[in-house]
Amino acid sequence: MSLTIGVDIGGTKVGGGVVDENGNVLATTRRPTPADDTPGVIQAVKEVVEELRQSHDIEAVGIGAAGWISSDRSTVMLAPNLSWKNEPLRDKVAEAIDLPVVVENDANVAIWGEHKFGAAKRHRSSVLYTIGTGVGGGIVVKDNLLRGTNGVAAEIGHTRSVMPDGRQCGCGRTGCLEQYASGRALTRAAQEGAAEHPEKAAILLKLAGGDPESITGRQVTEAARQGDEVALGAFDFIGYYLGNSAADMVNLIDPGVILVAGGVVDAGDLLLDPIRKHYQEALGNRAQVPVAEVRAAELGSKAGVIGAADLARHREIVP
Ligand SMILES: [Zn+2]
């Protein structure tokens, strides 16, 4: 049995898991992510790997990290959340643990997990949106990760075909999808809606103690479940942008399935129904011929660990 470890470097924790060749996670562990401390992050990865290695025979390690990863999968060229620039993560970790290492973008490892073992496994081409604090994107075309010339393809969250002159984005541009379709955008839409129309946000405001500015994402989901008009409107708001973006992906990629993942997907059909509605509207005549279904991803928070571990197993194949 070939075993590899997948490691997910997130903003708050470094999570790792031992994964077999069928995508089963056999053991997991985690450490806190030391922010703004690169040697500390590498130490955390090392500790995670060393702990998991004590009970399993490991052949390689895959790492998923938010940021732009070089095309040879060795270097984090830019990772705003971790303050990394041109960080040779692969070689530093490989030196620390004495195992082969593969580094890949966090959304790319997630779609790879879904492609091999999850909601996209019946399709050769697929698109993934990860809706969290921001919006991540991953694309698989004909069983290959779309990585691009420089390793930075599929940044769907920073496309801006829907609103090019819109809100300022952390990437230095304005109007990116991320500003209109993230968990943060959902909360902001609900906060603004409740401030403007408190009479339509009675349930939401009650949950938030009466103050629109203290509304949280969790409260938006809870209020929408109870039928709150402003909360439902906030889901419709981000669903509009995601649905329009998904229709663009159909024109660009013609995937077999479009997946939605990330924390906000816990809301289920509260999120998926508006996306599907606006997606159908945005397809135009394209809806008259076969077209990808929009559905929730299946592997949840384990997708990154499973995908990274599988990329490490097949590390000789650089897509
Ligand atoms: Zn952006």
Residue 250, domain CATH:
3.30.420.40
Distances (CA, A) of 212 to 163, 199, 221, 237, 270: 26, 12, 15, 17, 21
Share of the chain above pLDDT 90, in %: 87
Q: Given a cut of 70, is residue 19 above it in pLDDT?
A: yes
| Structure-block tokens of residue 147 | 């990585």
Question: Strand 126-131 relative to strand 61-65: parallel, antiparallel, unpaired?
Answer: unpaired
Average pLDDT over residues 233-240: 98
**Residues 136, 157: one domain?**
yes
Residue 248 lies in a domain: yes
**Residues 268, 148: one domain?**
yes
Cα 127 to ligand 1 centroid, rounded to whole Å = 19
Cα 16 to ligand 1 centroid, rounded to whole Å = 28
Phi/psi of residue 258, nearest 5 degrees: -115, 120
Cα 227 to ligand 1 centroid, rounded to whole Å = 32
**Residues 142, 272: one domain?**
yes
Q: Which of 155, 150, 178, 176 is nearest to 69 (CA)?
A: 150
Cα 155 to ligand 1 centroid, rounded to whole Å = 9
**Residues 37, 83: one domain?**
yes
Burial 269-288 (b: 16+ CB within 10 A, else e): ebbbbbbbebbbebbeeeee
Cα 136 to ligand 1 centroid, rounded to whole Å = 11
At residue 35, the pLDDT reads 79
Average pLDDT over residues 225-248: 97
Contacts (Cβ under 8 Å, ≥6 apart) of 87: 38, 75, 76, 79
Q: Which of 14, 15, 65 is nearest to 302 (CA)?
A: 15
Q: Which of 1, 32, 42 is nearest to 18 (CA)?
A: 1
Looking at the structure of the chain, the number of domains it has is 2
At residue 312, the pLDDT reads 97
Cα 171 to ligand 1 centroid, rounded to whole Å = 4
The band of 318, judged by pLDDT with boundaries at 50, 70 and 90, is low
Q: Which DSSP string corresponds to 168-230?
A: B-TTS-BS-THHHHSHHHHHHHHHHHHHH-GGG-HHHHHHTTT-GGG--HHHHHHHHHTT-HH
**Residues 279, 140: one domain?**
yes
Residue 319 lies in a domain: no
**Residues 42, 134: one domain?**
no
Q: Show the CA angle centred on residue 273, arms to residues 165 and 246, nearest 5°.
A: 45
Across the chain, what does the average pLDDT equal? Answer: 95
Cα 170 to ligand 1 centroid, rounded to whole Å = 6
Cα 132 to ligand 1 centroid, rounded to whole Å = 14
Cα 160 to ligand 1 centroid, rounded to whole Å = 8
Residue 117 CB: number of other CB atoms within 10 A?
20
**Residues 69, 163: one domain?**
no
**Residues 147, 280: one domain?**
yes
Residue 15 lies in a domain: yes
**Residues 96, 223: one domain?**
no
Q: Given a cut of 90, is residue 6 above it in pLDDT?
A: yes
Cα 71 to ligand 1 centroid, rounded to whole Å = 21
Cα 168 to ligand 1 centroid, rounded to whole Å = 8
Cα 178 to ligand 1 centroid, rounded to whole Å = 6
Cα 77 to ligand 1 centroid, rounded to whole Å = 16
Cα 151 to ligand 1 centroid, rounded to whole Å = 17
Residue 318 lies in a domain: no
**Helix 89-97 and helix 38-53, axial crossing angle in degrees, nearest 10:** 40
294/171 Cα distance (integer angstroms): 27
Cα 212 to ligand 1 centroid, rounded to whole Å = 26
At residue 259, the pLDDT reads 98
Average pLDDT over residues 26-44: 93
Cα 133 to ligand 1 centroid, rounded to whole Å = 13
**Helix 106-117 and helix 303-313, axial crossing angle in degrees, nearest 10:** 80
| Structure-block tokens of residue 153 | 């393809």
Q: Which DSSP string corresponds to 269-280?
A: HHHHHHHHHHHH
Average pLDDT over residues 98-123: 97
**Residues 189, 134: one domain?**
yes
101/76 Cα distance (integer angstroms): 13
Burial 134-162 (b: 16+ CB within 10 A, else e): bbbbbbbbeeebbbeeebbbbbbbbbbeb
Average pLDDT over residues 245-266: 95
Q: Terminus-to-terminus CA distance in the chain, angstroms?
A: 24
Q: Given a cut of 90, is residue 76 above it in pLDDT?
A: yes
**Residues 99, 128: one domain?**
no
Residue 29 lies in a domain: yes
**Residues 27, 168: one domain?**
no
The band of 319, judged by pLDDT with boundaries at 50, 70 and 90, is low
Tens of pLDDT, residue by residue over 273-298, are 999 999 999 999 999 999 999 999 99
What domain range is 196 assigned to?
121-297
pTM: 0.94
| Structure-block tokens of residue 36 | 């703004």
Q: Which of 71-80, 99-108, 193-202, 216-225 has the lowest mean pLDDT?
A: 71-80
Cα 183 to ligand 1 centroid, rounded to whole Å = 15
